[in-house]
Chain A
Amino acid sequence: MAKKHISFTLNRQNIDVLVEPRELLIHVIREQLQKTGSHIGCETSHCGACTLDLNGQSVKACTVLAVQAEGGEVLTVEGLLQNDKLHPLQEAFMQEHGLQCGFCTPGMLMRAYRFLQENPQPTEAEIRSGMAGNLCRCTGYQNIIKAVQTAAKNMASA
């Protein structure tokens, strides 16, 4: 099948890449563009490890075709770092120990990044339902929830 040229921005940089229509966004980002921060867990849109930001929305990049990103804006965990400074969410995940093995963390960070823009002052229950599309097999979620709370607090006072 003929490959297609697609252009989009990845972490604020213009990207031009040749893809097959059947290639998933997560594969193109990890394999062609070498941004391996976004992980592949289940590849069935359940686990949320591949969560990234597409046009201002959280999506599971295993269930979006790369050709659908044409003309769009993509942000991955690599894009959270700005001027060599960690994002307040990354700081909060460190401070609250919001991870153990770290596999789900990029997806957690990217979902939390969008969630706190949708709801900057969430209750604990709102965080739990807002993060419900991301699975973690280590932490039991407690410290992840705390990390999102801490980040919300720090971002509000910044």
Chain B
Amino acid sequence: MIPPEFEYHRPETIDQALVLLTQHGEEAKILAGGHSLLPLMKLRFAEPAHLVDLNFIESLRGIKESNGLIEIAAMTTESQLITSPLLLDKCPLIPDAASQIADPQVRSRGTIGGDIVHADPGNDHPAIMLALEASFVILGSNGERIVPASGFFLGAFDTQLEENEILKAIQVPVSVAGSGHAYCKLKRKTGDFATAASAVSLVVEGGVCKKINIALTNVGATALKAEAAESILTGQTLSDLLMEKAVEKAMAICDPAEDLRGDREYKIHMAGEMTRRAIREAFAKATGGG
């Protein structure tokens, strides 16, 4: 299978890339890791006349920390996320989730930015971004804007990113003392999208859950933030009763499509189970038991 014809562009700076995007408008597509776009092009689901390859722009790679924020350049690969000492130490949810994506070869090409802006409901980073309260640094010809992850995902394959804009970096807060995280993902096999997955990030102080974020993957048109479930647990000590109430609330927002991974009932049930496991694991990590 060979993609349809296109013109290939290899900019070396973000400015060059922005010029190309403006010049070619909706005929242009950004090529990041290529592990979603190239398969779509082989199937003729996407037929861009121009591909703007971001792989050779140095400033789009790398992970750094400043002012309590970790900034991950958008073209950082999944393998680089998994092995980043900075993330492992200060934002371990990202490497944990990245190691559950696809397989080693795909992770050497696939990028965090590509996974986010492609916004396939099966992609994992959108839920991770919601759970971490991340922000996205977006560049366009009119300059830079910073958009919170919450509200960024508009629908399946649809985000606030305009066609002449580039996601430059992802900002996530450094995890604080007493925080715990987990990403529990059910998949049928290596390389498959999640049947259902749940990302949890929480802070525990003196046994009380001070703050909790819960976000779900592949049980709706976008990653879903389970806010009603979060408010059940916020300010409380974790008990079986509250856990079950929260899980129920998380299941109530699921609206998955039936496919070969299962019917709606099964997927919603699994989203609940993944949430239960992720809360337990995150809580155990926050209290030193994990």
Contacts and interface: CB of A to CB of B under 8 A. Distances in A.
B80 to A, nearest CB: 10
B8 A59 contact: no
Interface in A1-32: 1-2, 4, 20-24, 27
Contacts of A44: 1, 39, 42
A20 B34 CA distance: 17
Contact of A60 (B7, B42, B105, B190): B105
Interface size class of A (residues with CB under 8 A): 20 to 34
B25 to A, nearest CB: 19
Contacts of A133: 102-106, 190-191
Contacts, number: 80
B260 interface: no
Interface in B101-123: 102-106, 108-109
B34 A27 contact: no
Interface string A27-69: 1000000000000000111101001000001111001110110
Contact of A46 (B53, B55, B191): B191
Interface size class of B (residues with CB under 8 A): 20 to 34
Contacts of A115: 104
A63 B38 CA distance: 6
Interface in A64-105: 64-65, 67-68, 70
Contact of B42 (A43, A58, A68, A132): A43
Contact of A132 (B7, B79, B104, B108): B104
Interface string B188-199: 001100000000
A68 to B, nearest CB: 6
A139 B3 CA distance: 33
Contact of B8 (A4, A48, A58): A4
A77 to B, nearest CB: 15
26 contacts: A1-B5, A2-B7, A20-B5, A21-B5, A21-B7, A22-B2, A43-B42, A44-B1, A45-B105, A46-B191, A48-B105, A51-B105, A57-B79, A58-B104, A58-B105, A58-B108, A59-B109, A60-B105, A63-B34, A63-B38, A65-B38, A65-B53, A70-B10, A129-B104, A130-B104, A132-B104
Interface of A: 1-2, 4, 20-24, 27, 43-46, 48, 51, 57-60, 63-65, 67-68, 70, 111, 115, 129-133
